[in-house]
Each structure stands twice: as C-alpha cells, then as structure tokens.
Structure 1
Amino acid sequence: MAKFSKNSMVLCFLVAIVFVISSASASTRLKKFDHPTKGDGTLNFLVIGDWGRRGTYNQSHVARQMERVGEKLDIDFVLSTGDNFYDNGLTGIHDSNFVESFTNIYTAKSLQKQWYSVLGNHDYRGDVEAQLSPYLRKIDSRWVCLRSFVVNAEIAEIFMVDTTPFEEKYFTTPKDHIYDWRGVLPRQAYMANVLKELEKALSESTAKWKIVLGHHAIRSAGHHGDTQILVDRFLPILRKYDVDFYMNGHDHCLEHISDTESPLQFLVSGAGSKAWRGDTKGINRDDVHFFHDGQGFMSVELTPTEAEIKYYDVFGSVRHRWNRSKLLLHSAM
C-alpha cells in the first residue's frame, strides 16, 4: 500500500509539472482573429483613437469623413488605438456611453466592419471587464476589444498590445482617478508576460507586413511625448523583428515619425475627438515628417509589396501621404 501511495505521489507530481508547463505555454499565446483580405489580396483599413465623447468635440464630424473614406477604400476593418470612452471608460456592460459614443456615431454603411480595439488609460478608469466583455458584441457585433491580441489579415499581422500598465505614474500618482487593475496585478509579472507574448508572436509571424498597435506612443512630438518605458522595452523588440509600423493614440493629434535606427515608422492617430492642445515638443526634428494638432484619422492601404499611409483632417482633406515599397524599402515623402 505504501508503494502504491509513493507511485501515486510521483504520478501526481509529474501531472502537475505538465499542467504548469502547458499553462505557461498557453499564457504566452496571444488570441488570434483571422480576417481575410479581399480577393485581390489587398488590405485597407482606418485607424482612429481617443474618440468616445458622445459625438462632441467634433467626433461626429470625424465620423462623417471616415464614412466617406471608408466607402472609397472599401475598408476591411477599423483599428482603435484606445481611450475609447471618455472620461472614465464604461461603468458597466449596460452603460449607455457605449451606444451613444460608438453605435450611434459610426452609423455609416462603410463603417459596419469589425472594430479591433485596445484599452487606453481613460478606459482603465472605468469598469475594464465591462469593456472587454463579449456581451457588448450582442449590442454591437462590430466591437472586439481585448487587452492584447493579434489580427491576422493574411498579408499583414497586427499585434494589438496593452500599454497602459507599463506607465508607472498611473499606479504611483493616480491623482483623483481610480484605475481598474483587475487582471493586471502583479504589474511586473503582467508586463513581462505582455512582452513575452508579443516577442513570441512576432518571431512566429510570416506576414508581409508587421504592425504593432498600442495606446501610448513610443515616439511623439505631442503633449505627452515619448513613453520612456516603451522606448526601453518595446522598441528593441520591434527593431529585432523588423516591424514596419508602430501605431498609437494617447496624444490627441496626427503624427508621422521615422525611427533613426531602422525602417520602423511611428504613426500617431489619436485625434478622434478632442484635440488642439497646442503644446508640441520638437516638431522641427529631422525624424518628424508630419504633425497636425487637430482632429482626424488615418487610412492604411496595403498590397503584398506596397503600403500607402494617409492622414485626413476633420474636413476630410489629406494632410499627409507616405508610401513604402516592401521590396525596395524606399520611402517617398
């Protein structure tokens, strides 16, 4: 009997080890959403950030221009760079702010496509679990919001990452704000896992175009400027795996900045509603190709070998256009 008990203990120990290893492996896999491209292999989408204000601060005007561009490009989906609902996220799954700031604003036929969204710091001030809840998809089937995940669009993979927990000030000096850190603590372990998941996903990607999207900037000439912890911990990974574009919001403006050590481009689209802050930092730097301190959004047109980025203002005018050949790595301003 003693012998059986000992063997049973060994077996249980081995099973436990396998379970822990399997769990750890699973935790380093980002959920992936497959989104097919058009029959001709092209991919078009819009990028918008910092928008949810029940139509105010020109949010409705930007939405109308998105309608026009979305129809012209026959977009496949929309990406949101976070701060989806102001000022303090959602209060719960039945919060009317979801319908009033999203469903009732982006009503155009051309925008009835999937919206892939990450969380911003303002979203963390509300009920984060509500904003992540699948229940919201019952209200509006377009809505897909997770902390970190991958959109596999055949010729491009878009790695959506949760950057808010990387900013220490939200933990140490929250002022009068209350952040919902459920699912994030302990913070250091969470950050390490996000970076591990991102690096693993990038290392396995065979997509023609690699795009990483988060809320906070790596490089920005706007109000908030560079996010140093992202410069230290994200940027080396993006360079290592030849990421083409890093897209973000947070600064309420439109920007295009080039990396000084790689072909990586920093594309800021956080002008979905409230903008015009007027406090820019270093916009005359050589690496800053475009800065617009006003409302607007960005479009991305991809083929297997070509990319075209356009920035539109609140009137629908193209304020900046940039092209790249994937084969020649040649950019045209």
Structure 2
Amino acid sequence: MARRGSSAAMAAGALLAQLMMLLCAPAAAELPRLQHPAKNDGSLSLLVVGDWGRKGTYNQSRVADQMGEVGDQFNIDFVISTGDNFYEDGLTGTDDPAFEQSFTDIYTAKSLQKPWYLVLGNHDYRGDALAQLSPVLQKIDSRFICMRSFIVNAEIVDFFFVDTTPFQLKYWTHPKDDHYDWRGVAPRKKYINNLLKDLDEAMKKSTAAWKIAVGHHTMRSVSDHGDTEELLQLLLPVLQDNGVDFYINGHDHCLEHISSRDSPIQYFTSGGGSKAWRGVFEPNEDKLEFFYDGQGFMSLQLDHNKAEFVFYDVNGNVLYQYTRTANHLQPSGGYVSEK
C-alpha cells in the first residue's frame, strides 16, 4: 500500500520511533521522553482526537477530512490521540489490516502527515496491546508513535501521556466477556504506584511554561462514562500538586470542557472521532463550561503566554473556544447539547 505524506515528515517520524525504542528499555526508571521542537516563533499547534478507529465508519472519515482542513489552516506540528484507537477489540497483531484501514487509509490529508502521539484506551487493551506498542507498526506508517506512558517535550510545554486503563479496577475484577491484555502491567497495584511515582518526579523536574496531562479515561465528565473515581483519587492529586494546567482525555464519545472548582486545572474531553450521540447528561460537582454530545475534534494552539482551545464538529464548524493566559481564565462560546 502506498505511503502518504512528505518524506521529511516520514523521516521525522522514523527518527522519533528509533528514539522511542531506545527509551523504552525495560530497565529504564524514568518515563520515556521525546523531543518535539516548537515553531521558530516559539508557538505550537496540534489537533486532538479520540475514540476513532472504525475503518472510516460512523463519520470517522468525515471527522478526518475536517481535521485535515484545520490542520492545514494552523500548520499543525503533531496530532494527539486520546486512545481507543481500534474498535471493538484493539488489534489482533502487528499484521492486522485494521491498522491501515482505520489509520493510514483514513488520515490522508497532507497536514496530518505529522507524528501522531497515542495512548492506549480500554478497547485497545482488549486486543493485542503489545502490537500497538510495537515498532513494527512504524514500518507500516511511521507517524504512529504509541507508548503506555511517556513525555513529549515541545519546549514551551511538556505533555505527560498517562496509561489510564490499568487504573480502572472493574477491568480487572469484573471484565464481563472482555479480555484485557495485562502483559507488562500486572500486578496492578505495583504498576500504578510506580507510574504515579515516575509522573510525580518528571513533573517536578519540568520547567516548561505549560504542563498538560493526556490520558484515555475521563477525570470529570457529564456524559455516559462520567467521572473516573480511581483517577480522581490516585492521579488527580499528583496533577494538582505539580501545577498541571490541563487534563485531556477521550473515552466518552463527545466534546467537553469542565473547570475544577478547587484548583486551576481544566478538563477537556475529545472523544468524538467516530461513533457518538450517547444521549446521556449527568452533571457532576465541577463547573461545566461546554458539552457537545456528538462527533468532532479539538485544536490547541500554544505560545509562552497563551493557550487556545477550539472544538469543531463533523462539518468543521467551530462549536466553542476557550483561552487561558498566565493569569486569566477567558472562556468564550456557549453550552451546546444535542441528542
């Protein structure tokens, strides 16, 4: 199958893949760290999409087309995936045709031929999780850079990617008819304790202007899955103690912005990459700024002093904008709910 995108972008992806393999040695005590330079003016532009891998169905292709348009407009530096990259049960192996059918063949726009940094979602863990972490996939499409937990340092911002699926106890104790690939993760308690320790140490060392955590599962959500109690109890204190500005996730198939009432942290859900329209709305204790029960994605533009978030629907319409500066919170836009 023909490769798409510029040779420069592919070479950059291949270089990052090689670095990833070096940094993922089992004996490493620190989280793998990748370097991604900001633009010459010090700014950074990216897209965020989650819960997408359905071989183009459920409007995945339409969302991808609009991502290409917005990506070109902003000359994006990379794309973040918040997980559930392949439905319903991840990949069967590194030779699973679903990889190209749901990724390479869908995100074909020139602007999207940049590195994709991905975390695993719960549906990814239901298949061969190690396949998504394998460097073999980068030989098929070098954009695909997936690890359990890692850091992308982009000069003005440190992105802390967190493997959130092992936190949810029900996946271990009540998996129902699903099988979860816990190779390299079990035992759960030790894995989570080590991860939290590594995250805390890395965040304390960060000198970036912005600190952003990325995971699959919701921390706060008013949609189908709601809040994830294990993350609120275990992960949130680490984020708050280290001054993390934003937590970005997928899992719920919608677009959301929720403000914490007891800290500066802001929660953003971008899980509208394909199947959506759950028809669920359950408020929580924090402040809901925006909710859209439908398909779409998010852009994020950053410089040293300002972060600008924009949500788009499946037609590329701007649904909501939010800007945060060093000392001000400036939401703009409105509440949108569709069922």
8 Å contact 1:263–1:329 — kept in the other structure?
Answer: no
Q: Secondary structure at the match of 1:252?
A: coil
Q: Secondary structure at the match of 1:268?
A: strand
Corresponding position of 1:100:
101
8 Å contact 2:257–2:289 — kept in the other structure?
Answer: yes
What amino acid is the match of 2:287?
Answer: D
Moved more, 58-67 or 26-35: 26-35
Q: CA deviation at 1:331?
A: 2.4
Structure 2, unaligned stretches of length 5 or more? 1-25, 333-339
8 Å contact 2:300–2:309 — kept in the other structure?
Answer: yes
Whether 1:300 aligns to 2:300 is yes
For 1:124 and 1:241, the matched residues in 2 are separated by 29
Structure 1, unaligned stretches of length 5 or more? 1-24
8 Å contact 2:46–2:76 — kept in the other structure?
Answer: yes
For 2:243 and 2:189, the matched residues in 1 are separated by 26
Q: Deviations over 1:182-202 (max 9, x none)?
A: 001111000111111111110
Q: CA deviation at 1:233?
A: 0.9
**4+ long deviations beyond 4 Å:** none
Corresponding position of 2:194:
193
For 1:26 and 1:264, the matched residues in 2 are separated by 33
8 Å contact 1:28–1:193 — kept in the other structure?
Answer: no
8 Å contact 2:81–2:116 — kept in the other structure?
Answer: yes
For 2:250 and 2:286, the matched residues in 1 are separated by 21
Within a 5 Å distance, the mapping from 1:124-139 to structure 2 comes to 124-139=125-140
Whether 1:147 aligns to 2:154 is no
Q: CA deviation at 1:280?
A: 1.5
Q: CA deviation at 1:272?
A: 0.2
What amino acid is the match of 1:288?
Answer: L
What amino acid is the match of 1:213?
Answer: V
What amino acid is the match of 1:205?
Answer: S
Give the root-mean-square deviation of aligned CA atoms: 1.2
Q: Secondary structure at the match of 1:234?
A: helix
Corresponding position of 2:222:
221
Q: CA deviation at 1:236?
A: 1.0
Q: Secondary structure at the match of 1:144?
A: strand
Q: CA deviation at 1:27?
A: 4.4
For 1:332 and 1:58, the matched residues in 2 are separated by 28
8 Å contact 1:299–1:311 — kept in the other structure?
Answer: yes
What fraction of aligned residue pairs are identical, expressed as a percent?
A: 59
Q: CA deviation at 1:329?
A: 3.1
For 1:49 and 1:55, the matched residues in 2 are separated by 14
Q: CA deviation at 1:237?
A: 1.1
Q: Secondary structure at the match of 2:122?
A: coil
Moved more, 55-64 or 168-177: 168-177
Corresponding position of 1:322:
322
Q: Which has more radius of gyration?
A: 1
8 Å contact 1:45–1:78 — kept in the other structure?
Answer: yes
Give TM-score scaled by structure 2 length: 0.89
8 Å contact 2:260–2:286 — kept in the other structure?
Answer: no
8 Å contact 2:261–2:286 — kept in the other structure?
Answer: no
Corresponding position of 2:206:
205
Corresponding position of 2:245:
244
